[in-house]
Chains A and B, each alone.
Chain A
Amino acid sequence: MAHSPAISLQQGRGVYRALVRRKQLILLALAVVMVLSVIADLGLGPARYSMREVVLALLGSAEVSEQISVVIWDIRMPVALMAIVVGAALSAAGAQMQTILNNPLASPFTLGISAAASFGASVALVFGISFLPWAIDYVVSINALLMAMGASLFIHFMSQKRGVTVETIVLLGITLVFTFNALLALVQYLASEQALSAVVFWTMGSLTRATWPKLAITTIVLAVSLPLFMRRAWALTALRLGEDKAASFGVNVRWLRLETMMIISVLAAVPVAFVGTIGFIGLVGPHIARMLVGEDQRYFLPASVLSGAAILSLTSVISKTIVPGTIFPIGIITALVGVPFLFSLIMTTRRRAW
């Protein structure tokens, strides 16, 4: 670098304000992509509707037939919104996992939290065993939730031990993935044919399981978690400067980590409990956000949420268009799209971003 011209006092401020405006525009663009994707998602299915029809139906116009209105509002809307909410929750959980574990590979999927949830669900599907006996309607979801939370807290407490490095956490996650996959295989081996197909379908992850109550619960979890994260935006960003630095700024690092991990465990577990294993959103969403707006949590978190939501919604669109008339389980698509992305991420990880 030759001599770069010194930035005058006024310019430093100006450059910063301009960068902030750019980040806000990026957030807006992500939101637009998300909304367009939802509209496309609503139009697709066994019967295809044009964008105009979808928008009119959404506005409650009398121009569209009653039938279109019912299909869009009652059948497709919960699924389309579930894609948004689940994508947002998984991506936010992944973003904060990467932040507090200081690890670019952290996500609910890679650290075994999804695998734990699958195991919990399979126990319910195969043996009808519920970890909380009084909630029969939600047995599968609650078992998945409890296992996922247990796995998150296990990762958290292990990461607190002295001498635990970034690499050890990834290794720990891998051991969890293997353990729960083995347990899942065991359950599948013991399962009846009918239960087995239920388990296999569940672990694939599919948004078609969405219902209004499940959508409402996931939305509430998301709506409570995000403000809690945002309140700690400065402290969470400071954590990225190193633990010592953050502590020297007065951040109670231990407490912040624990608190954040508790929120993450619910945020990551609820979507998995309702729609099954959907991998890679929690990994890919935050990485895209980081490349677009950097790691100032005030923009990083919203960007993660929006990109996660947009990606899952777009994936939902793809899952309906590969073979017209069929809806592929979305978990299959996210993994197929996510693997090449993860691969390129690992190969270029030395350059920037991490």
Chain B
Amino acid sequence: MVAMLQLENVGVRYGKVEVLSGISTPVLQGGEVTAVIGPNAAGKSSLFRRIAGLLDGPGRIHLTEASFDPSSGTICYMPQDTSVNTVLTVYESILLARKQGSLSRHVSDLDLETVDGVVAALRIEAIAFKGLSELSGGQRQLVSLAQTLVRDPKILLLDEPTSALDLHRQVEVLALVKSLARERAMCVIVAVHDLNQVMRVADRVMVIDEGTMVRCGSVEEVITPDLLRSIYRVDGRIERCSRFCPQVIIDGPLNRPLAAE
């Protein structure tokens, strides 16, 4: 059975402050990539943390084939980049991610095989035995993604996984995520700021603004000049530069007040 995820009126409250409310989605199917976009501090990370079970709040999250217990590994969340200061190698940290929830302290050949596989898929062999605190921001992000993928999730939540990566790595990582989604019938939700990358990778786009979902639909439906204007307050157009990839081109003035429309 394919993993499915659906949100129904989901919200998040910090004390009395409601940071997110009324998020409802259609059924998100395994194999699909859903991009979450929106301005900074719109509530994207809160949404991820709520789905991952790290925050409580109103609403219901429907899952099939996956249990809600994060330790089961069926639902995996990659937080935004945080630097760590710890004496662990990259390899150890990935193995650690795989062994979470296991009562056995024994490391089997299969465990190591899985770790090696993820290391190879993300092409991070060269840094595999470096210390985590020696890594650059981009390398940390790749390692963090590896820690998530090694748990073989059914639902994968990636909070800005490419924000520190160079252009080549951005394209590569998102392509890998997309192909893994297809291969493993994984339901992927990913927050990405770069709309051009979103258009390359996403099957569906959700727009979060000021704690609510303002749009949800296919890439063509959602990413429009109107979205650029109303959400990001820039003037631009969407051009189909090649057969596959539309591009956002910003050629208007910035900071146009909304009221002027």
Report A's interface with B, CB cutoff 8 A: 3-9, 12-13, 15-17, 19-20, 230-231, 233-235, 237-238, 240-242, 244-245, 247-251, 290-291, 294-296, 298, 352-354
Nearest residue (CB) in A for B157 is A248
* A250→B87 contact, CB < 8 A: no
B112 contacts the other chain (CB 8 A): yes
Assuming A233-B105, A238-B96, A251-B100, is B125 touching A295 (CB within 8 A)?
no
Nearest residue (CB) in A for B104 is A234
Assuming A234-B102, A245-B82, A295-B87, is B73 touching A12 (CB within 8 A)?
no
Q: Which residues of B contact A250 (CB under 8 A)?
A: 69-73, 100-101
The 3 closest A-B pairs by CB, nearest first: A250-B71, A250-B70, A249-B100
Q: Which of A235, A248, A249, A295 contacts B88 (CB 8 A)?
A: A295
Q: Enumerate 21 A-B pairs (CB-CB under 8 Å) in ascending A order.
A: A3-B126, A6-B126, A7-B129, A8-B125, A12-B112, A13-B113, A15-B91, A234-B96, A234-B99, A237-B96, A238-B97, A240-B84, A241-B96, A241-B132, A242-B79, A248-B52, A248-B70, A249-B97, A250-B73, A294-B87, A352-B131
- Expressed in whole angstroms, the minimum distance between the Cβ of B198 and any Cβ of chain A is 23
- Expressed in whole angstroms, the minimum distance between the Cβ of A251 and any Cβ of chain B is 7
- Expressed in whole angstroms, the minimum distance between the Cβ of B80 and any Cβ of chain A is 8
> Interface on chain A toward B: helix, strand, loop, or mixed SS?
helix
Q: Which residues of B contact A13 (CB under 8 A)?
A: 109, 112-113, 115-116
CA distance A250 to B119 in the complex (A): 22
- Of the listed residues B87, B92, B129, the one surrounded by the most CB atoms of chain A closer than 10 A to its CB is B87
* A242→B103 contact, CB < 8 A: no
CA distance A233 to B117 in the complex (A): 24
- Of the listed residues B70, B72, B76, B115, the one surrounded by the most CB atoms of chain A closer than 10 A to its CB is B70
Which of B189-228 touch A at CB < 8 Å?
Answer: none
What are the interface flags for B231-245 relative to A under an 8 Å C-beta threshold, 1 for contact and 0 otherwise? 000000000000000
* B87→A242 contact, CB < 8 A: no
* A231→B103 contact, CB < 8 A: yes
Q: Which residues of A contact B89 (CB under 8 A)?
A: 19, 294
Nearest residue (CB) in A for B45 is A244
CA distance A20 to B91 in the complex (A): 12
Nearest residue (CB) in B for A294 is B87
Q: Which residues of B contact A4 (CB under 8 A)?
A: 126
Report B's interface with A, CB cutoff 8 A: 52, 54, 69-73, 76-79, 82, 84-89, 91-93, 95-97, 99-103, 105, 107, 109, 112-113, 115-117, 119-120, 125-126, 128-129, 131-133, 144, 147-148, 151
* A245→B79 contact, CB < 8 A: yes
Assuming A6-B126, A7-B126, A248-B78, is B86 touching A12 (CB within 8 A)?
no
Q: Which of A231, A240, A244, A298 contacts B79 (CB 8 A)?
A: A244
* A242→B82 contact, CB < 8 A: yes
Nearest residue (CB) in B for A239 is B86
CA distance A59 to B124 in the complex (A): 54
Q: Which of B88, B107, B113 contacts A240 (CB 8 A)?
A: B88
- Expressed in whole angstroms, the minimum distance between the Cβ of B168 and any Cβ of chain A is 16
Nearest residue (CB) in B for A6 is B125
CA distance A268 to B52 in the complex (A): 36
* B100→A353 contact, CB < 8 A: no
- Expressed in whole angstroms, the minimum distance between the Cβ of A111 and any Cβ of chain B is 19
CA distance A253 to B85 in the complex (A): 18
**Additional 18 contacts, C-beta under 8 A, given A233-B105, A242-B79:** A6-B125, A7-B129, A9-B117, A13-B109, A15-B129, A231-B103, A234-B102, A235-B100, A238-B97, A241-B84, A241-B88, A241-B96, A245-B147, A248-B52, A249-B71, A290-B87, A296-B92, A352-B87
CA distance A298 to B72 in the complex (A): 22
Nearest residue (CB) in A for B144 is A245
* A248→B96 contact, CB < 8 A: no
Q: Which of B92, B99, B147 contacts A294 (CB 8 A)?
A: B92
CA distance A7 to B103 in the complex (A): 30
- Expressed in whole angstroms, the minimum distance between the Cβ of B19 and any Cβ of chain A is 15
* B105→A230 contact, CB < 8 A: yes
CA distance A15 to B91 in the complex (A): 10
CA distance A244 to B148 in the complex (A): 13
Nearest residue (CB) in B for A250 is B71
Q: Which of B77, B87, B112 contacts A16 (CB 8 A)?
A: B112
- Expressed in whole angstroms, the minimum distance between the Cβ of B77 and any Cβ of chain A is 4
* B96→A296 contact, CB < 8 A: yes
Assuming A7-B126, A248-B79, is B70 touching A295 (CB within 8 A)?
no
CA distance A80 to B147 in the complex (A): 45
